[in-house]
Structures are given as structure tokens and as C-alpha cells.
Structure 1
Amino acid sequence: MPSGRRGRRTSPGLAPSTSAPWTSPTATTPCGSSMRSSRCATAIIDQLWYKYIHMEELLGAVANARQVFERWMGWRPDIAGWNSYIKFELRYGEVERARAIYERFVAEHPRPDTFIRYAKFEMKRGEVERARRVYERAADLLVDDEDAEVLFVAFAEFEEKCREVERARAIYKYALDRVPKGRAEDLYRKFLAFEKQFGDREGIEDAIVGKRRFQYEDEVRKNPLNYDSWFDYIRLEESVGNKDRIRDVYERSIANVPPAEEKRYWQRYIYLWINYALYEELDAQDMERTREVYRECLKLIPHKKFTFAKLWLMAAQFEIRQKNIKAARQILGNAIGMAPKGKIFKKYIEIELYLGNFDRCRTLYEKYIEWSPANCYAWRKYAELEKNLSETDRARSIYELAIAQPALDTPEVLWKASAGLGEDDGSEENKNDVGYQEQQAERVRRCRAVFERAFDYFRTNAAELKEERAMLLEEWLKKELSFGDLGDVTLVQKKAPRKVKRKRPLPTDDGSSIAYEEYIDYIFPDEVTLAPNLKILEAAYKWKKQKANDTEDD
């Protein structure tokens, strides 16, 4: 078409240019080698539609151009095509037609950006209520859209411009409860700025909490096994006080079970369960949920590989606070059967002792000793129970059985306790009684026999424990002194060791000895036969020391 003819047929309001103002940016983009053939084909087809409509407008055939647009819309073009149609109607003042096209547009492309365009169209014409309804429809329809954050920010800013502060705040809070934390960064930032401008102290604190919540969500999303982040997140929610949020974070945190069945990986994790149970009992005061938390946690732990005595005990103590002794006994009994621990035995016995169930205590002590026969604490406490119940013969039998064990962890404690058994038997008023005197002599004999056996044990089976043997003799000497006329300190004195100061080299990383430390050695009378050898060793030691000094002088 000649350029003069084109100028004569240009419709009013159109600039005499070779390209239309609504031309799609992609319409003139050449198809490079990196673009797909389908997109190239679409761009070429769109270019044809644009030129066709442009020609009709140049000819002044507005109705024909509108028909071409309608035919084009039937082919479901992209957003640029719909925007061109809307601009076409607005150029001719057809606001209602443009509004109808917008309705079809958002139905065809239900996305945050299309609804925002529609709402801004209404707002530009002063149709505040129409614009609000567009945003409300979009918020209901696109709440789960991946770009919902953009929609809610625009909606809140719209209400802010309309000076509807409470509406804007409600939109922000609604969005923060529903938009995934990983996609809500801008939303939190906008909300914090909004509260700083319009909110009070409480509102600002809520906004700050929201920002911290977003940070914790990001941390646990990147590393769900970072239990310290879960603890921080839980403390934040507990400071706010929303039960549903708190429980949700607890449930999400305990869902991240450690990948390896090794106790060191489980220690921090188990404290999440413990804190959860304490929250339900003390804060939420939901006892049934508390019981369920303990129950589920105990099911989860691989007790055959390791256990947590603290958790068993806390579960039992909870039932005791609920005055459910039967349930507490069942928990502790399961603990002993599945994963016995010294702490569990001690606490279980303490409970039964407090309730006065001495037969149960005896049964538990027997199981305790059966599980750990080298445990002197268990033997001693069992004997003390019988002694306190005036069952002296039973106590003595327990000590006899304990001492007969092939291995004990702290035998000196057991010897000492056994030797002191029965010293306080009898009464003051029987002191002059001949029978009583004989009984006292028998008790002294038995006590002395225990010390003799203990001393012999250290001398023959643990000769290297010289200091412990010396301590045993000190205790024996005190006992002999406490026996009064019946005591015989010479028995102990002739066994007493002689203290000798010695020096020994301090080893270094390279194996050399450049320093010495002093220590106390004990030489017992039964080692006197080794005295000549000791003198030789002492002389050798002095010679070696002198040689070392001479070397240093050189």
C-alpha cells in the first residue's frame, strides 16, 4: 500500500507509523537457533493476527477489527493477545466491553498477574468495590498458587491505598497463615514495613515474630535434622502461645527421626519428645495427649541397641502424678524387661520403698543383682534394707554372697559395710550381761574376719592397689579402736605399710623423659623379704639419675 494512501485512511487517534502500539514484543523477535520451532510458529501466527487487525483499523473498520479479535480469542492466545484486545476497546471508550473481556481473560488465564491487571483497571476508573471483588475472587481461587505471595501483597497494598488499614492487616495475616514459608519472604518484609507504619507495639511484635518464623522455617527446610533450629522455632511459638501452631511445630520436628540407630544421634532428638510431653502436661494440661507422647516415643526407640532411662522414669513419674501407680509399675517393669539400667532399678525401688512394699523391694534388688552381679552398690543397699528391717541374718547372708562374687566394682566399700554390720545391736541396759558380752565378742570376731578377708583379697588378687589396701587398714584400725577393750590394734599395726617417697619420669610425646614427679609408695611388711632387691633398685635409680645429670652438664 503506498504511504500516502495509508496516511489518508488512518483512523482518528492513531499515529501514522508502520507498527501498531499494541504490537506484541515477541511479534518482531526473530527466531534464533535456541528457540523452539513451536514458539517461532506461534510468534509468526500472532504477527499475522496483529497485522490483520491493524489493517482493519487503518481502514476504519472497527467492527471488522473486533470480529478479528473475537476469532483470534477463540484460538486461546497468550496474555499479550488479550491485553491487545482490551486496549483496542479502551481506545474507542468501550469500558463495558473491556470489562467483559477482562472477565473472559482471567477465566482463560487465572493467574495472580492477570487478576492484578483487572483490579488495577477497575481502580483506575474509581470502581473501588469492583476492584476489591476482583482481589477477593483471586484470593479464594489462587491461595495455593506458587505466585500467591504477589497477589496478596498487591491486595494488601490496594487496601492500604484505600486507607483500610484493618483490612490490609487482615489480608497480610491471612496470607502469612497460608502461603508456604519458603515463598513468603517479600510478604513478611512488606508486613513488617506495614506494621511499623500503621501498627502498635503488639502489631510490630507480631510482625517481628512472623519474620523470625520465616527464618526458622527456612532453616528447618534446608536441614530438617538440625534439632537446635527446631528447639529455637518451638520456643518462638511457645512465646506466642498459639496451641495449634506449637503442636504443629512439635509434630513436624519429631517426624525427623535420626537416620542412624546410634545413641549420639538420638540424644538431642529425644529431648524434642521430652519437651513436647512437658508442654502437654504443664502448659496445655492435656494429660491424655501427654500419655500418648510418652507412649509413642518409647515405641520409637530401638531399645535393643540403646535406651534412655530418663524417658522411662519421666513417663513413670507422670503416671504417679496422675495417681496411677499401676501404670507407673507397668512402665518401669517394661523398662527393666526391655532395657535395664541402674537408674531405673534405683528409682523403682525408691518408689516401692516409699509405699512400704518391702517384698517388692526385695524382688527388685534380686533382679538388680542378677542383672549386675559386680555392682557393690546394689548388694550394699539390699543388705542395708534388710538391716533396717531388723533382718540382720538376711543382711549378713547378702554380704556373704556379695563377697563371694568373683568380680566386684568397688570391693573396699562392700568390705567396710560388711565389717560394720551388727555393731549397734543390743541395748545399754544389757552391758553387764554375760550373754551380751559374748555376743559383742562374736560380732567383733566376725567384723575382724571380714577385714582379714578383705586385706587378703587385696594382697593376693590386687597387689597393685597398694593405696586402697592402706586405706582398708586405716578403716580397720578405726574399728579396732571403736571396739574398746575387745579391740586389738596390734593386729593392724603389724600389717601397716611404710610410706616411701619415690620419683618417676614423666613421659613425653617422643617417648623421652625430661622431668620427674614425686609419688608415695607403700611397702608392706610381707614385702620385707624383697628389701635387698629394693636397695639394689634404689642404687640403680641413683646411678641412672647421676648419669642423666652428667649428661646435662656436658
Structure 2
Amino acid sequence: MSVEGSAGASGDVRLPKAMKVKSKQPAQRQITAEQILREAKEIQLEDDFKAPKTIITDPQELAEYRLRKRKEFEDTARRVGRWNHSIWIKYAHWEESQKDFRRARSVWERALDVDYTDTNFWLKYAEMEMRHRFVNHARNVWDRAVSLLPRIDQLWYKYIHMEEMVKETAKARLIFDRWMAFEPDHASWMAYIKFELRYDEVDRARAVFERYVEVLPSVKAWVRYAKFELQHNDVARARSCYERAMEALGEDSHMEEFFLRFAEFEEMVKEHERARAIFQYALDHLPKGAAQELYTRFVAFEKQHGSREGIEDVVLSKRRFTYEQEIAKNPLNYDAWFDYVKLEESTGNHDRIREVYERAVANLPPGDEKRFWQRYIYLWIKYALFEELDAGDMEKAREVYRTALKLVPHGSFTFAKLWLLAAKLEVRAKRLPAARKILGLALGSCPKGKLFKEYIQLEMTLGNIDRCRTLYEKYLEWNPANATAWLKYAELEVMLSEAGRARALYELAISQPALDMPEALWKAYIDFEMAQGNRDRTRLLYERLLDRTKHVKVWLSFAKFEAEALPQPEQGEQEGEEAQPRQTPPGEGSSAAERGARAVRARGVFERGLRAVREGAPDAKEEAVMLLEAWRDFEAACSDFRRRDEVAAAVTAVERKMPRRIKRKRAITNEAGLASGMEEYYDYVFPEEAGAAPNLKLLEAAMRWKRQKMAGGGDKGEGGAGGDSADGNGQQEDGQQADEGQQQREREEEGQEEEDY
């Protein structure tokens, strides 16, 4: 059979000839399924169809209408009625609207056959019967519902509500009894009780309460029972309820809520002692973590009805038990011990305080590391201070210190504070030999700088200078690198007017190979010599210091020293001698000549310093700037004893040495060593550097010209030599100009901004 062509005489169907695709490339505009659906929705006409209103005019039409609707409902129920329960409800409501209650009941019964556990079926079924006043039918529905679903409280409530609506109180009570036989929850029992109270049946309500607390023995049930009796003004019965609850529940009654309600009841009936006893019993038997509200209410109760002592006892007992719990969890929690001790100290009971201290210090740290002992040792210190200051027992405090010192492993570490407090205790007790013995033992077993300082201070206070010197010597033998010890020792000698001894100490100090603060020692030595008015010794010290360091601050201090007059030492008057008039040493006066001589020496120091900084550390440009600024200020300050033109010339000479501050750029490298951008920074260009740059460029240009001539070759004779010389000079000038232009272009490219400093 041929595929091409149309149908022939034999009736064969011929398919059209396949068309060739002209282009298999994707279209510029792609069509998606979403777009097709959207366009179809846009062109779809609005559905304005409304079902025509049907007017039924005779019974036959009504019967047809009902038949058609019932058929629709039946078909729908047959298809989806098993899982779509709303179909049965609509069907039944429609039959109800047609006043055909027999068929409506039939529909409900069929729905219940499908799923009788659907509470909605029972509720709407019974509500239909109740709406149309079929009370017996509704009662039958409710009775069947609660029999099949006795744990659905809503069905019981609706059933009882219907009986109350029709004034059948006895039947409602019987329904409640049936319901209570299933032992429902608390809300159901309270509904029964409220039902009896609505009809003033107090005895019946009490009987229901008895059944209630028997079926559901709980704190909630007994508290409600007691409140019921209290509402009916029967205090004895209410108290009996609480007492019976404690007997019936046993340990289960030990709940915060129960004791709170019990205490509130006793407080309400003005039995304050009973309420207090209940609070105390509860606090003794309940865990403190589960009695926070109880504590709060007890404090409020004591504030209202108790004394101040009672309130404090409540608060203290609560906090005491809290600390006991924390300590039981971790005996090494020294912060908790401190808080516990502070609490007991607030009570003033010495026996209890000592007991807590002894328990606290009995918990030794786990290891011989100082960080474990730092908090622990303060327990001993506080213990000793309590015995001395609060208890007034010096011997007991002394024993506490001795015990603490024996416990500390002094071979690994020590606590200078403990030794010093023990010694100061002996000083306050006026037992100086005992204090010296303690401090001597400390220095012999575990010397520390703090021990030396405090011991020296003690002897200084007592006026024992020889002991102070001995202690300083021991201190320096133990730690000769401690510059502070040398300074204090020298200051002691200066205070005693022993200049020779002080100078010898300073010489020993600066000759030490290692010092922790040599700069402080040198400064103190120089200040000492200046205070003695000895310029030559001071100048020699500066020179010795400059041999060790060329720091700019040393040069500045040296120049300032040379420029100023030295302070003269005070000349005391000896007993029995007349005061001698003070004589100013040569060169330390205030005349113009003397001041000029000092200025010359200071200017020489500035020049030496600038030369040393520029030659010794060329990169230390900021230090050089500091020196020049100080020099310029010094020259400007000489105007009171020099002529203005001289001062101006001197200032101008210094300013010529000042550098220019320029802004440059440099590459930034990251941690990996790669370039990550550019940053700007300020640099200083001194006049000598700016002058050397053109000469360097000129030499470089000459070398380039020479290499070019040697590469070109050829001798040109004498005339040629002269010409070459001329050409060379011209080449050098051209090279210099080219280099200067290149330098200017580089400066513009780098964004350098020159400004006068």
C-alpha cells in the first residue's frame, strides 16, 4: 500500500508527504506549557451561567424534584460516603428541610452504620430531634451515643443539658451517676458538683466530693473539697479535709501547692501559729529547688504576722540550705564557701562561723599548682582575720596562720601575703622579735621581692637603718638585675645624706651585666649628680651613656642639661654655726655671658646628635626631625640674651637642615607574599639627600654615553677627540635634563605631593 497520495479506488488511505524541516535551530521565542495554559485562560469566556430558578406548582413536580435530589444524594453517598461524611450530613439536613423526618432518621442511621465513632453524627442527629421537640427520640439517640462512646465528655454534657432543659433533674442526676461510674477526669466531677449546688443540694454535693476524692485521690481534689467546705463556712470540715489528705496521700501530699493552700487556709481563719507550723514543716520536708514559691510566701507571711527575727531566720535557712546543696555537689567550689562564710558572719554566731571555716579549709586543692591555691588561701586569711578582729582571739589567729603556712608547699610556690599578714599580726601584738623571725624564715625558705620590700619598710618605720642596709644587700644578692632595688637603696643613702655611698651604689648598679630597667637607673644617677650640682660628673655620665646608646632622647636630655643652669644643693646650718651665704659656682649664673657659654655647649650637643643619628641610623628620619625641632626651639628661646638678627640667623640655619615631607606610594603585600594594592605614606627628604640625587643622575648619564661611544667604535684623531669631549659635555647635559624630566614624570605618576615641613 502506497503511503503518498490520496485515497484510491480501493479505499486505501494515503498519508501526506512528509515535509522537510527547513531549520533545526531553536526558535528565538520558546513556547512552554505554562504559556499555552495562560493564553487559553485569557481567551476563555467568563462563565456567567446561573441555574434557572425552578418554581414548583403541583405535587407531581414536587415528587419529581424530590426523586431527582434523592437520586443525586444516593449516587454521591454511594461513591464517596465512606470517607466524605459531610455528604450524609447534607443529605439528612435536606430531608429535614423537606419535613420528612422518617427519611432523615433513616439517613442518620445509615451514616452511623458507616462510622458510629464520628461524634459529629451523634450531635447533629440528636440536635435534629431536639429542634423539632422529639424529646424521646433525642433521649434514645443520646442514650445510644453515651453507651457506645462513654469517654466522649461532650456527649454526656449535651445529654445532661437536654434533661435540665426539660426540667428532668432526677434523670440528669442518674445520667451523672452513670457517667461517674466510668471515673472521668476532674472537670467531670466538678460539673456534677456544680450541678448539685445549682439546686442547693449541699449534702449531695458533699457526697459527690467524697466519691471524687476516693476515685481520684490527688492534691487538686482534696484542695477543692476543702475550699468547698470553707465556702459553706465549715472551718472544721475544711481543716479535716487537709488533714485527711495528708493521711490519705502520704508522700504524694508533699507538694508545694498543697502546703501553700493549707497555710493560706489557716491564715485566712486567723490561725497564724498553725500557718507558721505548716510553713516550717513544708520547708523541712520539701526539696529547696521545688519550694521557691513556698519560701517567698513564708517570708511575706512573716513580714505581715511575724517578728524581725523570724523573717531573718527564714531567709537565712533558705540561703544556708542552698549553699549546702552547692557544696555537696562540689566541695572545691571556694566561691560557694566564701558566700556561706559571709552568710554565717552576718548572724554573729561564732561557733557556727568557726564550724564553716573549719569545713571550708579542710578541702585542700587537688594539686601543687598555684592557680589551684589562689582562692583557697584566702579562706585561711579570712579565718585568721575573723579570729583577730571579730572574735578577739589573738592566739587562735596566730595558730591559724601557722597551720596555713605549714600547708602551703613552699618548695613549689609561696604566698607573700600570708607571710606578711602573719608578721603584721605579731607587730600589732608588739612582738617584734616574732615578726622578724617570721619574715626571716620567709626570706630564707622562699624569697620574693614583695617580702624584701615589706620587711625593709617595717625596719624603716622602726628606724633601724643598719637592718635596712643589710636587707637591701640580701635583696641585691638574690636579684642583682632588679633596677628598682638599686634605686631604692641609693635613695635611702641620699636621704641619709650619704652622697658617696649613693654614688658607689649607682656605679655598681650601672656596671651590672643585666638589668630589667637600665634607663631608669641611668636617669636616676644623672638626676642625682645634677641635684648635687656637679656638672662635670653629669656630663661624664652622659658621655658614658652615649657610648652605650645613641637614642635621640639621650641627646635631647644632654642638650637640655647643657643649656640650663644646675640647681644648687641646699646648705644646711650646723648647730652652733652661723649660716654661710650661698655662692653660685662658675658657669651656673644667669648673666648673658654664662648663658651664652651654656648655649654654645648645647648647640655642640645638638650638632653631635644630629650627625650621630644621620650617620648611625639613616632610616631614623623621625628621630632626626625630633632633634631638629628641639634645636630650633632652643635657638628661638635664646632671644633674651642674644640679638634678634643672631637668633633669626641661627633659626634659619637650623631650618635649612629641616627635611621636606613628601607623600609616596608603595606596594602592599599580603600574608602569601603577593601584591594586594598600594598605600600612601609620608617620607622625609633631607637637603643633603636632595643634593646628592642630581649628581648621581649625572654620573649615570655619563656612563651610558661612554658605553654608547665604545659600542659605535672608530678613532677620530685629536680634533675628533676634542669634538668628542664637546659632544660628551653636551651629552652629559642632555642626559641630566632627560633624567630630571624622567624624575619629574615618575613623581607625577607616583602621586608625590611635596610640602614644606
The TM-score range, normalised by the shorter chain, is 0.5 to 0.7
Match of residue 343, structure 1, among 450, 458, 469: 450
Q: Which of 537, 544, 549 in structure 2 is aligned with 1:453?
A: 544
Which residue in the other structure is 2:491 paired with? Answer: 384
Q: Look up the match of 1:213.
A: 320
> 1:194–1:445: structure 2 CA closer, same or farther, 3 Å change rule?
closer
Sort the Cα spacing of 1:294 and 1:450 in 2 relative to 1 into closer, same or farther, 3 A. same
Task: Map 1:117-516 onto structure 2 (within 5 A).
Answer: 165=273, 196=301, 199-425=306-532, 443-459=534-550, 469-480=551-562, 481-483=564-566, 485=587, 487=598, 488-497=601-610, 498-499=624-625
**TM superposition score normalised by structure 2:** 0.41
Once residues 505 and 303 of structure 1 are traced to their aligned partners in structure 2, the CA distance between those partners, rounded to angstroms, is 57
- Mapped partners of 1:301, 1:344: distance in 2: 16
Counterpart Cα distance in 1 of 2:315 and 2:356: 18
Q: Is the 8 A contact 2:529 2:537 kept in 1?
A: no
Secondary structure at 2:625 match in 1 = strand
Shift of 1:479: 2.5
Aligned twin of 2:736: none
* Separation in structure 2 between the aligned mates of residue 402 and residue 344 of structure 1, nearest angstrom: 21
CA separation of 1:282 and 1:518: change in aligned 2, threshold 3 A: farther
In 2, Cα distance between the equivalents of 1:218 and 1:417? 59
Please tell me whether Structure 1 or Structure 2 has the larger radius of gyration of its CA atoms.
2
* In structure 1, C-alpha distance between the alignment counterparts of 2:295 and 2:557, rounded to whole Å: 75
CA drift of 1:333 comes to 1.4
- Tell me, in whole angstroms, the C-alpha distance in 2 between the residues paired with 1:287 and 1:247: 15
Alpha carbons 1:280, 1:286 under 8 Å: kept: yes
Return closer, same or farther for 1:184/1:545 CA change in 2, 3 Å cut-off.
Answer: farther
Alignment deviations for residues 463-521 of structure 1 (CA, whole Å, 9 cap, x no partner) = xxxxxx22222332332223482653245313334138899999977777778797999
Instruction: Give the match for residue 115 of structure 1.
Output: none
Counterpart residue identity of residue 277, structure 1 = A
Cα drift, residue 201 of structure 1: 3.3
Q: Distance in 1 between matches of 2:747 and 2:389?
A: 69
Which secondary structure does the structure 1 equivalent of 2:481 belong to? Answer: coil
Misfit runs of 4+, over 3 Å = 163-166, 181-199, 422-425, 500-521, 543-549
The code of the aligned residue for 2:549 comes to: F
Deviation at 1:186, TM superposition (A): 9.0
**Residues 1:381 and 1:299: Cα distance change in structure 2 (over 3 Å):** same
Question: Distance between the aligned counterparts of 1:544 and 1:330, measured in 2?
Answer: 79
Alpha-carbon distance in structure 1 between the residues aligned to 2:557 and 2:448: 32
- Residue correspondence of structure 1 range 504-543 to structure 2 within 5 A: none
Amino acid at match of 1:372: N
Inter-CA distance 185–199: structure 2 relative to 1 (3 Å threshold): farther
Going from structure 1 to structure 2, the CA distance change for 1:245 and 1:404 (only over 3 Å counts) comes to: same
What residue identity is the alignment partner of 1:414? L
CA, structure 1 residues 516+343, in 2 after alignment: closer, same or farther (shift >3 Å)? Answer: farther
Displacement of 1:352 after TM fit? Answer: 0.9
Unaligned runs of 5+ in 1: 1-148, 426-439, 460-468, 537-542, 550-554
CA distance in structure 1 between the partners assigned to 2:358 and 2:328 by the alignment: 15
C-alpha displacement of 1:424? 4.2
Rounded to whole Å, the distance in 1 between the matches of 2:319 and 2:747 is 68
1:493 to 1:249, Cα distance in 2 relative to 1, 3 A: same
C-alpha offsets along residues 337-357 of structure 1, whole Å, 9 cap, x if unaligned? Answer: 122222211111111112111
| Native 8 Å contact 1:263 1:306 kept in 2 | yes
Do the aligned partners of 2:295 and 2:318 also contact (CA within 8 Å) in 1? Answer: no
Q: Could you tell me which amino acid in structure 1 is paired with residue 493 of structure 2?
A: E
| 8 A Cα contact 2:383 2:400, kept in partner | yes
- Give, in angstroms, the shift of residue 369 of structure 1: 0.8
- Please report how far the alpha carbon of residue 405 of structure 1 lies from its aligned counterpart in structure 2 after TM superposition: 0.6
Query: How many angstroms apart in 2 are the aligned matches of 1:341 and 1:391?
Result: 28
Deviations 1:174-220 (A, max 9, x none): x99xx9x9988899998987773763332122112101111100101
Q: For residues 57-82 of structure 1, what are the alpha-carbon distances to aligned partners after superposition, in whole Å with 9 as ceiling and x for unaligned?
A: xxxxxxxxxxxxxxxxxxxxxxxxxx
- Contact 2:288/2:322 (8 A) holds in 1: no
CA contact (8 A) 1:188 1:210 kept: no
Q: CA RMSD in A?
A: 4.7
Report the residue type matching 1:205 in the other structure. E
Greater length-normalized contact order (CA 8 Å, ≥ 6 residues apart): 1
Superposed displacement of residue 385, structure 1: 1.2
SS at match of 1:343: helix
- State TM-score, norm by structure 1: 0.54
How many Å apart are 1:229 and its aligned residue? 0.9
Asked if 2 retains the 8 angstrom alpha-carbon contact of 1:182 and 1:217, the reply is no
Q: Distance in 2 between matches of 1:403 and 1:213?
A: 60
User: 1:206–1:300: structure 2 CA closer, same or farther, 3 Å change rule?
Assistant: same
Tell me if structure 1 keeps the 8 A contact 2:327–2:337: yes
CA distance in 2, matches of 1:206, 1:257: 31
| Residue-by-residue CA offset, 1:405-442 (whole Å, 9 max, x unaligned) | 111111111112212334444xxxxxxxxxxxxxx6xx
Identity %: 49
Q: Deviations over 1:278-310 (max 9, x none)?
A: 222222222112112222112211122222222
Gaps of 5+ in 2: 1-253, 567-585, 589-597, 611-623, 627-660, 697-744, 752-757
Change (3 A) 1:267 1:410: same
Tell me how far apart the structure 2 counterparts of residues 507 and 281 of structure 1 sit (CA, whole Å).
66
Q: Which amino acid counterpart does residue 552 of structure 2 have in structure 1?
A: A
Counterpart secondary structure, 1:499: helix
C-alpha distance after superposition, 1:97-142 (max 9, x if no partner) = xxxxxxxxxxxxxxxxxxxxxxxxxxxxxxxxxxxxxxxxxxxxxx
Count of matched residue pairs: 358
- The one-letter code of the counterpart of 1:485 is G
